Amino acid sequence: MNDDCSEDDRSRAERGDLRSRTKTFAVRIVRLYGALPKSTEAQVIGKQLLRSGTSVGAHYREAQRARSTAEFISKVEVGLQELEETDC
């Protein structure tokens, strides 16, 4: 990392990057869902993918508003579980 950046600046940049990445991920999931066949099987699986894939960013944003370290960890872990559920 650049020595000119303070620890707070790096932390803010990392949070912004993860926020942006989780949003991009959610948008890609929505587009994937829209491109799925309209068969019942594809729609059932697609809806679950849509729920789990779009909740990752929401859990991350909730974690940023956590009132304690324990709450932060809990919310990030739930987001990770959703991410793992989304993984093919």
Determine contact, residues 57/27, Cβ cutoff 8 Å: no
Query: pLDDT tens-digit profile of 36-87?
Result: 999 999 999 999 999 999 999 999 999 999 999 999 999 999 999 999 988 8
Distances, alpha carbon 12 to alpha carbons 45, 64, 76, in Å: 36, 11, 17
Residue identified by tokens 């324990």 is 70
pLDDT of residue 1: 45
pLDDT of residue 3: 52
Query: pLDDT tens-digit profile of 18-41?
Result: 889 999 999 999 999 999 999 999
pLDDT of residue 88: 61
Domains, in order of start, for the chain: 7-86 (1.20.1440.60)
